[in-house]
Amino acid sequence: MPDTGADDFTPNVSRLDFSVMDDAVGYRLRRAQLAVFQHFNEAFSSKGLRPTDFAVLLLLTRNEGSKQSEVAEALGIQRANFVAIVDGLENKGFIERRKSESDRRVQSLYMTPAGQAYLEELMPIWLGHEQWVLNQLGGVAERDMVNKLLARLYE
């Protein structure tokens, strides 16, 4: 029986005319985000780690004791969604919430020793991922230019 390709869900985009989108920054950003996240997910697949979880751990290494709301805002995560992320990391024993000394209603976030050890284990994987991104962009100068330009969109 000849192969009809019915089970092949990969679209054949080579015949599509994308010229109308050549200058569409949003389209290019989304495609770039997908490529970077796909590589991240492949690199970290054995760890079962999501980019957002890693970002929280990484941010806390230099910002221990930050308010939960500050970390959520810094990462652009809605407060309701951030609570679930923190719950997951806390359940794994990687971070802990503590009541603020100055305002008992406020939760501050801290890395645990297990969280710090886990992050140290992840750093070589992350550095390899960042090197892949750097290679894709063409080097440090290009990466720095991309970062500078992208920052204009949200700062």
- Which is nearest to 112 in space by CA: 89, 100, 92, 96? 96
Q: How far apart are the first and last CA of the chain?
A: 58
- Which is nearest to 114 in space by CA: 98, 97, 96, 94? 94
Domains belonging to the chain, first-starting first, are: 24-151 (1.10.10.10)
The per-residue pLDDT for range 87-145, each reduced to its tens digit, is 999 999 999 999 877 777 888 999 999 999 999 999 999 999 999 999 999 999 999 99
Q: How confident is the model at residue 11 (pLDDT cuts 50, 70, 90)?
A: low
- Reading phi first (left if > 0) and then psi (alpha if -120 to 50, else beta), residue 3 is in beta
What angle is formed at CA 23 by the lines to CA 20 and CA 24, rounded to 5 degrees?
85
Q: Does residue 15 surpass a pLDDT of 70?
A: yes
Quote the pLDDT of residue 5.
47
User: Can you count the helices (H) and strands (E) in the chain?
Assistant: 6, 3
Q: Does residue 16 surpass a pLDDT of 90?
A: no
Q: How confident is the model at residue 19 (pLDDT cuts 50, 70, 90)?
A: confident
41 Cβ neighbours under 8 A, 6+ residues apart: 51
Quote the pLDDT of residue 98.
93
- Reading phi first (left if > 0) and then psi (alpha if -120 to 50, else beta), residue 93 is in left
Strand partners, 95: 111
Give backbone dihedrals phi and psi of 99, rounded to 5 degrees, phi first. -65, 140
Q: How far apart are CA 40 and CA 7, in angstroms?
A: 27
Quote the pLDDT of residue 92.
96
The per-residue pLDDT for range 34-61, each reduced to its tens digit, is 999 999 999 999 998 889 999 999 999 9
Quote the pLDDT of residue 13.
61
- Which is nearest to 49 in space by CA: 147, 109, 115? 115
pTM attached to this predicted model: 0.79
The per-residue pLDDT for range 71-84, each reduced to its tens digit, is 999 999 998 899 99
